[in-house]
Amino acid sequence: MSSVKNTESSKSTESLIWALLHTVPDPDIPVISIVDLGIVRNVEWKNEIAIITITPSYSGCPAMSVFVDDIRQVLNGAGFQSEIKTVLSPAWTTEWISQSGLDKMKAHGIAPPEDESGMDSIFAMQKPVTCPRCNSKQTKMLNRFGSTPCKALWYCNECSQPFEYFKCH
In sequence order, what DSSP letters do the residues of 116-159 get, joined into one string?
-TT--STTSPPPP---TTT--S-EEEEES--SSTTEEEEEETTT
State residue 161's pLDDT score: 97
Instruction: State how far the Cα of 38 lies from the Cα of 94, in Å rounded to an integer.
Output: 8
Are 116 and 64 part of one and the same domain? no
Instruction: State how far the Cα of 123 lies from the Cα of 129, in Å rounded to an integer.
Output: 17
Say whether pLDDT at 8 is over 70: no
Mean pLDDT of the residues in the chain: 89
Mean pLDDT on 8-34: 92
Question: Cα(first)–Cα(last) distance of the chain, in Å?
Answer: 46
Are 53 and 136 part of one and the same domain? no
How many separate domains does the chain show? 2
From 43, 66, 96, the end of a domain falls on 96
Are 88 and 120 part of one and the same domain? no
State residue 156's pLDDT score: 98
Would 42 be classed as within a structural domain? Answer: yes
From 73, 96, 119, the end of a domain falls on 96
Domain range enclosing 144:
109-166
Contact indicator for 38, 29 with CB cutoff of 8 Å: no
Say whether pLDDT at 2 is over 50: no
Cβ count near 114 (within 10 Å): 15
Instruction: State how far the Cα of 145 lies from the Cα of 25, in Å rounded to an integer.
Output: 22
**Strand ranges (DSSP E) for 6-99?**
40-46, 49-54, 81-86
Are 81 and 123 part of one and the same domain? no
From 45, 64, 96, the end of a domain falls on 96
Mean pLDDT on 140-146: 92
Would 104 be classed as within a structural domain? Answer: no
Say whether pLDDT at 118 is over 60: no
Confidence of residue 116 (pLDDT cuts 50, 70, 90): low
Mean pLDDT on 32-56: 96
